[in-house]
Amino acid sequence: QDKWLADAQNLVKQYAFYMKRALDDNNLREALKQGSLMLGELRTTALSPQKYYELYMQVWSELHHLESFFADPARHGRTNLELYELVQHAGNILPRLYLLVTVGSVYVKSGEGAAKDVLKDLVEMAKGVQHPIHGLFLRAYLGQASKTLLPDAGSPFEGEGGDTRDAVDFVLQNFTEMNKLWVRMQHGGPARDVDRREKERRELRDLVGKNLHVLSSLEGLDLSLYRDVVLPRVLEQVVQCKDDIAQPYLMDAVTQVFPDDFHLKTLETLLGAVPKLKPSVRAGDVLASLMDRLTQAAIDAPELADAFADADALLKFRECVAAVVEAQPQLEARERLLMHASLMSFAVAAHKDRLELVDGILASCASALGAPLPPASPRDGAAGEAGTSASSEPPPPAMIVADPKAVKQLVALLTVPLETYDTDDVLRLSSYPRCMSLLQPADARDMAVAVVKSVLKGSTAVGDPRRVETLFKFVASLMRDAGEEDEEDFEEAQLLMARLVHRLRSDDTTTQLAILTTAKAQFATGGAKRLRHAAPPLAFEALRLGRAVVAETALDESSSTKTHESELLKQVLQFLYQLVSNLEQATCHDLALRLCLESARLADSAGAEHAAGDLLERAMTSYEEEIVDSKKQRTALSLIVGSLRTCENFSEETRVELADRAVGYAARLLKKTDRVAALAACAHLHWRKSPAKTSGEDDEGGVGGSGDAAGVSACLQKALKIVNASLQASATTGAGAGEATGLLVSVLNSYLWFFENGCEGAPASAVAELLERADAELSQLGSQGACPPDVRAHYDATVRHIRHQRGRGGVVGARFRDLPEA
């Protein structure tokens, strides 16, 4: 190749030299002869397009000399017409036509020849060159030479030389012929060279595309000319050439080269050509590129929106996409998605306010990929699986999108609405989940996570049960086990889902309840491991709702609403109850227990004693039966006790019963420390600080209270008994003295609290005795140097407190003064 090129270039140089010498002598005949010889080198068939191009460029620059010679009649003494004929005497067609074009351009430029006639003649004669590469370059030369000679509007060649119509005809014809030659390069030659040929063709495509560019830059090209002449003929050529490379390239070129408003006004025609492209051509890319172009236009110039609407662009696009899908059953999923993604961008850019259009696109996208219809009809019910029903024709299997590129497309497609619309609107896109069902489980999950995130990010809450249901359809993939899933991802997703619960909120209590019920039902479908995550937020929302209802009840006077509200509350409690059951089934006993207690408090605050009692009882049962770990027991118990204590509306009987049970649990705890602490806490169950009447009095602190002093005393005694036992034990074993003393100090504190609050269950004598014992133990430990510092500190603080209280006035001060000074 290189050698051939070098040889040819040398020859060209040589002939060019002789030619120029002849030109210097004004010897026309000799110049033409040498020029022909030089041009004859372009007849080679040995060179690749790349090399041929180099040679062509060399010849091209030499032709300039000839052209300027032709342009000067004084030098050759012929008229242009004579020259025009003279060069046609050349025996070989390729040199002849190059010369003819060269003379032709001079002929037109001189004003002697009418542009349209000369150009028409040239473009017609060029048909004689059927060799693809020769022809392409010859016509490229023609295109180049004629560019400034077109009888375009406003050009000096307009008028006698024709009008824009002639210019268009000329360029179109040249374009058509070039395209044919270009396409023909593909054929012939051994099959193994196909790749190389395609590469070569791509290198040459701009030669063809240049014509379109020339067309678009014609001043006189107006819409009607474009619509009636240019576009139909270009498209005809595109469709007819049936070429894999030419079709997308030219469609793309048309899209890029001509102005947007032309496209808008001729959309139908343009789109009409798309389904007619070869099946192997990626019609999707073509369409997508067009849509993207218009999308950009819509974004850049929002005022175009009306124009888009007038043109009904979106509808046309959709029809076209549908037609392509229809026409090409083998179309890849990626293509289908690409088209719809573009469609989506376009819809959003041009018709942001029309949600139904977006939904429609999703629907058609889903259909295009054969996504099963939502289970409206039971037969199609099996989501994501090919219909197996023997009756009627089975629907084509859905294309599950697995190709990473396609996945990206689909995700992009689905993301667009998320980014554009707020949650509420997105949830109105009923076909959204159908599209999502096309994804593989893992991808679907990612997508669902994105949906959830967007909902979380959004400003508006979802406040309609039906919408909630839809939302769950959107994120259905997170509610199902399908395929492999990373544990961590799962957790993360479920946490997001849990957060989502908080976004489901309505100001109307009834609605809110419905929402929660719906949500719970949805979560329940996801099985225990999902419910575990979802239950707390659900519960909290329910509790919040319950409290809101209670607050409303308190405000409301009318009895009718009151009954309604108490009904509502009942339902809330029921809901909570169910939630507890669910949790228990899910073996999340800790959670269930807590929820139970919270619910009990709610019930109590609403004055629903029975419910509260039931709930507490249930909690306790659950404690008994399910909580086995000692640490958990401790925590659970303290929760139970705490809850119980805050409940204010129990009858005395119930209270005692429950308190006793709690005490019973406390006594059965495994560790001494736990037992002591639990018992001390239980003591509080029997004692209730009298509610502070005014803030002033509250300052005094622990003035008094009421309750069952005996109960308090019993609990404290029990605690003290344990302490005693452990002290004795440590005395015999010599170990654990520090711990035992610590217990002693904490029991002392419990006593002190009740004492301070004036409970008879903790008389001054008992406190004084304890103080003494503690002091003794501590000093003994101190002498052994084994006194744990925290115990010591605790004790010291206690003593300080007593001293402080003693210094105060009032009831409390008086009480403290009964104590011996430490």
Partner 1 sequence: MSFFGLGRAVTVDLTHAAGEAQRVASVKSDRGNLETLPVFTDKETIAGHVHLSPAPGKQIDHLGVKIEVLGQTELYFDRGDAHDFVSLVRELVNPGEFNGPLSVPFEFKNVALPHESYRGINVRVRYVLRVTVSRGYGGTVVSDFPFLTRLVDEPPSINTGIKMEVGIEDCLHIEFEYAKAKYSLKDVVVGKIFFLLVRIKIKHMELEIRRRESAGGGTNTYNESETIAKYEVMDGAPVRGESVPVRLFLAPYDLTPTYKNVANRFSVKYYLNLVLVDEEDRRYFKQQEITVFRETL
Q: Which residues are near partner 1 by CB under 8 A? A: 43, 85, 88-89, 91-94, 96, 124-125, 127-132, 134-135, 180, 184, 188
Q: Between residues 111 and 128, which has the closer beta carbon with respect to partner 1? A: 128
Dihedral (C-alpha) 539, 541, 547, 552: value to the nearest 10 degrees?
A: -140
Q: Between residues 13 and 89, which has the closer beta carbon with respect to partner 1? A: 89
Separation of alpha carbons 377 and 389, rounded Å: 12
Separation of alpha carbons 161 and 789, rounded Å: 112
Separation of alpha carbons 665 and 352, rounded Å: 64
Q: Between residues 128 and 259, which has the closer beta carbon with respect to partner 1? A: 128
Q: Taking the mean position of all CA atoms in its chain, how far away is CA 616?
A: 45
Q: Taking the mean position of all CA atoms in its chain, how far away is CA 680?
A: 54
Select from 331, 281, 290 the least CA-distant residue to 313: 290
**Whether 802 contacts 794, CB under 8 Å:** no
> 790 burial class (0-12, 13-18, 19+ CB within 10 angstroms)?
exposed
Give backbone dihedrals phi and psi of 401, rounded to 5 degrees, phi first: -80, 115
Length of the chain: 822
The CB-of-338 to partner 1 minimum distance in angstroms stands at: 34
| Residue recorded with tokens 């697995």 | 402
Separation of alpha carbons 59 and 15, rounded Å: 10
| Residue recorded with tokens 């019973």 | 664
Separation of alpha carbons 476 and 479, rounded Å: 5
Q: Between residues 134 and 634, which has the closer beta carbon with respect to partner 1? A: 134
Separation of alpha carbons 390 and 267, rounded Å: 43
Q: What are the DSSP calls for 769-787, one per residue? A: HHHHHHHHHHHHHHHHT--
**How many CB atoms sit inside 10 A of residue 752's CB?**
21
Structure tokens at 26: 């004004």
**Whether 616 contacts 656, CB under 8 Å:** no
**Whether 212 contacts 254, CB under 8 Å:** yes
Strand pairing report for 687-689 and 705-707: antiparallel
Q: Between residues 131 and 564, which has the closer beta carbon with respect to partner 1? A: 131
The CB-of-7 to partner 1 minimum distance in angstroms stands at: 20
The CB-of-186 to partner 1 minimum distance in angstroms stands at: 12
